[in-house]
Amino acid sequence: MILPKIRDKRFITVRRGGTLTDEDHHLLAIWAAQCAQHVLHYFEEVCPDDDRPRRGIELTQAWVNGEISMKQAHNAAFVTNAAARDVSGAANLAALSAGQAVAVAHVAAHELGAAAYAIRAVMAATSEDNKEFARYQECQWQRDILPEKIRDLVIDDQHLRNELCWFVFNC
């Protein structure tokens, strides 16, 4: 479980009584998609003919561009996550990262799911003695690409939900 029991109003859109602007919601989705894209190769190496995770990442951008509705993105998350059922290890975690990225359109707080699963994918693809270094490196890369406008929000969210996200955000 990566979502808190009580939703953080900072990740609820203004239209629904929260404080999240559309611009920041879009930035969260783009960042989540970048996290998923960074590890997508783990899935594609195992399932080169299955485009569901890649398509999920592409649909994240399509939602940001206004080309598909939130409901279409939400439905795409289920299709993208289904790809994870067919594989294990880093490939499974990479597909889950892509599913979380496209789910950001529906629930902005899925942004950390995309990031956490991406970190876990890198760790799963790494030898046991390098897992912590790989975790740190991926977490730091994700922070380095965070847009300045949402940087404090995401890093604070990482601190608040680190325990729910398998403690992957200790960087």
95 contacts: CB under 8 Å, gap ≥ 6:
43, 52, 53, 80, 81, 83, 84, 87
For residues 122-134, give the mean pLDDT: 98
Give the pLDDT confidence score for residue 2 in this predicted structure.
83
Structure confidence at residue 96 as a pLDDT band (50, 70, 90):
very high
The verdict on residue 167 lying in a domain is: no
Element (H, E) at 159: helix 148-161
- The reply to whether 3 falls in a domain is no
pLDDT digits (tens, 9 = 90+) for 26-57: 999 999 999 999 999 999 999 999 999 999 99
Q: By percentage, how much of the chain surpasses pLDDT 70? A: 99
Task: Report the domain count for the chain.
Answer: 1
Does pLDDT of 17 surpass 70?
yes
Residue 110, in any domain of the structure: yes
Residue carrying structure tokens 């965070």 = 146
- CA–CA separation, 32 and 60 (whole Å): 9
* 99 found inside a domain: yes
Q: Rounded CA gap, 33 and 87, in Å? A: 20
pLDDT of residue 1 exceeding 90: no
Residue 67 inside a domain? The answer is yes
Asked whether residue 146 is domain-assigned, the answer is yes
Q: What token pair was written down for 103?
A: 């789910």
Question: Is the pLDDT confidence value at 93 over 90?
Answer: yes
- Rounded CA-CA distance 163/33 in Å is 22
- Mean pLDDT across 126-130: 98
Q: Tell me how far apart the alpha carbons of residues 11 and 28 are, in angstroms, rounded to a whole number.
A: 10
| Range of the structural domain that residue 22 is part of | 9-161
